[in-house]
Structure 1
Amino acid sequence: MKVALFPGSFDPVTKAHVDIVKRSVSLFDKFYIGIGVNSSKQGLLTVGQREQMLRAVFADEPKIHIIAYEGLTVEFCRSINAMYMIRGIRTVSDFEYEKAIAQMNHALAPDIESIFIVSKPGYSSISSTIVRDIIRHHGDVSQFMPREALEYL
């Protein structure tokens, strides 16, 4: 069984995240969206809100499982038997950062493969960080987030 993990903060989930999931889920038998929890960071949304948001967005996809986790992502992959980690790439700087993380992950867990999915051009400028900033300043984020997620803001 091919199992993959798409890890991230998803604070909040964006259309770019949804695009990466929709383009990669069919490659696997089971697909986890892992909400990485960093207790030292104060997020915009609680982990519970992010879980609810993701469940609403992917309600019609039986292969997708939403779960929060703490600690090393490769250790979480092992705990759910995921041999593949999906990462979205928007820019060259994303690639450099993700490549370094993938190489470290490979050193820690050589059996877990990182797979990079390049974002579609229309989504390359969308990031959770920018969307959070727009939300904090009471701007309209409806063009950057899936419709099902907006009610959780």
Structure 2
Amino acid sequence: MTTAVYPGSFDPMTNGHLDIMLRSMRIFDRVIVAVLNNIDKRCMFTVEERLAMIKKVVGNYDNIEVKSFEGLLVDFLKVEGADVIVKGLRGVADFDYEIQMAHTNKKLSQDIDTVLLMTEPCNSYISSSNIKQIVHFEGDISGLVPDELLEEIYAKERKNRGI
């Protein structure tokens, strides 16, 4: 059985993230969506909120699990019995970053491989950062994030702004 880990901040989850999750579950027997607590990022949602949001969207799929982690990704993979990291690519800039990370992870653990999946073209311009900016200025994010999360994202922004 092949277990893959799809790591990310998912702050918030986008349709691009969902695309990679659903395609990964068709390729691998078990997919763990691993929500990381990135100390370098100022997050809109807590780790617990992000876990709940992702579970709301993919919780009905038998071979997708949603967990959080801190520390080195390769250590998380070892604990989970996983041997593949899945990362999504929107363009060349993502590739440059992800290839460096893949080589670094390979250096840290020879048993772990990285699979890079190109996002569907309709999702290639979507990023969590863009979503947060659009929401901050009260723009329309429908079609960019899963429908189940729309109101939750808008409500969080209103709360953060004290509205």
Bin the TM-score by the shorter chain: over 0.9
* CA contact 1:49–1:152 (8 Å) conserved in 2: no
Residues in 2 aligned to 1:106 and 1:40: alpha-carbon distance in whole angstroms? 23
Alignment of 1:1-150 (within 5 A): 1-150=1-150
* CA contact 1:30–1:64 (8 Å) conserved in 2: yes
CA deviations 1:18-43 (Å, max 9, x no partner) are 11111111222211000010245320
Residues in 2 aligned to 1:87 and 1:4: alpha-carbon distance in whole angstroms? 10
Structure 1 runs not aligned, ≥5 long: none
Structure 2 runs not aligned, ≥5 long: 154-163
2:151 aligned residue:
151
Counterpart of 1:6 in 2: which secondary structure? strand
Q: Matched residue pairs, number?
A: 153
Distance 1:87 1:40, change over 3 A: closer
Offset of 1:103 from its aligned partner? 0.5
Residues in 1 aligned to 2:138 and 2:49: alpha-carbon distance in whole angstroms? 19
Residue identity over aligned pairs, in percent, reads 36
Q: Which amino acid aligns with 2:50?
A: R
Q: Which amino acid aligns with 2:61?
A: E
Residues in 2 aligned to 1:40 and 1:116: alpha-carbon distance in whole angstroms? 23
Q: Which amino acid aligns with 1:50?
A: R
TM-score (norm 1): 0.95
TM-score (norm 2): 0.90
2:158 aligned residue:
none
Shift >6 Å, 4+ stretches: none
State the Cα RMSD in Å.
Answer: 1.1
